[in-house]
Structure 1
Amino acid sequence: MSKKTIGMRGFTLAEVLITLGIIGVVAAMTMPTLINSTQGAQYKTAYKKALSVMSQAVVMNIALDDYDLSQTTEGATATRDSAGAEYANDAQSLYTLFKNRMNVVKVAASDDFQGDTNGKADYYKIVANPDSEDYKNFAGKHDLSGNTFPDIATTPTSWPTGLTMLFFNDGITFIYDNTQHTCSVATSTDAVDEDSYCFGFIDVNGQKAPNRVVACDNGTLEDSGEDNAACTVSNPTDIYPIAMFDQSIIPASAAARAVLYAK
């Protein structure tokens, strides 16, 4: 006896195309979020690694050369095309400390990456910096002894010139002012004895995009210099401001702290 197949048929071409179209729309809507989430996790991991490795370099320098960040001396200012040569006479500058204790594959000045090269812009750009007041407010509470945070221009959005750039073998770049020195925290609560932090930036993936300073979701914070400033960072980016003192390297903004301590 032959069997009859009841109520069974294949999908029509139109139905298949509609289904594929729906899948494509959903994928287009969700993929950017998934990519940002993955990249954000990578930036966060690299940032934590950079803080750890740089802190270990300071500890190693204490053991080998018997001085920490509070004993650093003023170094030379980096200039275009000759970064590194200026530092020949630096005894205990930030450059000397990190160059001796970390695997530095390249040294440059920030103006090596700013200007016009054969008609093409060669900026080490910051794509967006909505929280510029974030680290400025932090620095304002900790730099009254002389060291100041690099003032990032808003137009064009690029690093100021004269900063030193150390490129590490793992792709991380450290950007800072080599003339900073005596990076220390106040030893008393006396108003005369203020903190003298030194400041810089960690770019966890070098010159690769997005080259964006990490920012809080809710934009610029009035009280961002406070350690307990409310801040949430849903999508970590690749540039993090840091503060250096004594034997410590810490986040220098509410956003950078939020990324470091987020669960």
Structure 2
Amino acid sequence: MKIFNGIFNGFTLAEVLITLGIIGVVASMTLPTIKQKLDERSNISMLKKFYTEFANATNLIIADYGQPENWGLKDNDAASSQQVMDLYKQRLNMTRICEEGDSSCFAFPVCKYNGVTKITDSEYRSWQLKSFILNNGVTVFFDVNDGWFSVFFDVNGKKKPNRLGNDVFAWAVNGKGKIVSHSDETISGSGANEKEYDYAFEIMENSWTKKY
């Protein structure tokens, strides 16, 4: 027991083992919390970076092609989905594109913040949407509506937990080209008023901190 000389001097072996056991228990309780906080900071950092990158790309597109309300976008329309994809493909660094019905670019199921399943793999594939992976690992798919579109993205790629408000977020681009929450009054139709998609804006409005 020379290894403990000077550290546990005067303690019995049993007392040393009990102390080490207590240290182990405390570590097992605190390390997951520390990891969770580190993951949270990393995810928020990626969220902020993607917002900046996406906003810049959107502004460039609007400068060249006008506002989305003038693009002729239609809900459940393959041509509209392709149009949005083509516009952003020119301005975002995509390393892989998954065609309609291919869910391999995005991790499913996507769950609500409480862990209940929100979007299944089969449900996503039935929507016939395209998705893509950026060079920084962020995975994205668009859901086009009449005159506006939703953006869903996973900031840590296909790593778990794949939960809304944790690593999966969403926002909408309204007809004027403004990035808004899904509760915003300027959008309507499929996906509008889905408060579960508003976590990104909660973080942004709280100076890029998670308070929920």
The two structures have a TM-score, normalised by structure 1, of: 0.58
1:26 aligns with 2:16: no
Highest CA radius of gyration, 1 or 2?
A: 1
Kindly report which structure 2 residues correspond to 1:1-263, keeping only aligned pairs within 5 A, or say none: 10-63=10-63, 65-74=64-73, 77=78, 93-109=83-99, 111-113=101-103, 124-126=107-109, 128-129=111-112, 152-153=118-119, 159-161=124-126, 162-177=128-143, 179-180=144-145, 182-183=147-148, 198-214=149-165, 237-245=166-174, 246-252=176-182, 253-263=197-207
Larger helix fraction of residues: 2
Paired with 1:131 and 1:19, the residues of 2 have a C-alpha distance of: 37
Residue 201 of structure 1 aligns to which amino acid in structure 2?
F
- Over residues 107-131 of structure 1, what are the superposed CA-to-partner deviations in whole Å (9 max), with x where a residue is unaligned? 11463237xxxxxxx9831353257
Secondary structure of 1:207 counterpart: coil
* RMSD of aligned residue pairs (Cα, Å): 3.1
Secondary structure of 1:167 counterpart: strand
Q: Percent identity?
A: 30
1:47–1:204 contact (8 Å) kept in structure 2:
yes
- Over residues 108-158 of structure 1, what are the superposed CA-to-partner deviations in whole Å (9 max), with x where a residue is unaligned? 1463237xxxxxxx98313532579xxxxxxxxxxxxxxxxxxx546x786
Secondary structure of 1:105 counterpart: strand
Paired with 1:247 and 1:113, the residues of 2 have a C-alpha distance of: 27
- Over residues 204-256 of structure 1, what are the superposed CA-to-partner deviations in whole Å (9 max), with x where a residue is unaligned? 12222111112xxxxxxxxxxxxxxxxxxxxxx11112111223223333433
Task: Tell me: higher relative CO, structure 1 or 2? Use CA pairs within 8 A at least 6 residues apart.
Answer: 1
Q: 1:239 to 1:158 in 2, by over 3 A?
A: farther
Instruction: Name structure 2 gaps, 5 residues minimum.
Output: 1-8, 183-196, 208-212
Q: Hey, which bits of structure 1, 4+ residues long, moved more than 4 A?
A: none
Secondary structure of 1:258 counterpart: helix
1:59–1:68 contact (8 Å) kept in structure 2:
no
Paired with 2:100 and 2:40, the residues of 1 have a C-alpha distance of: 25
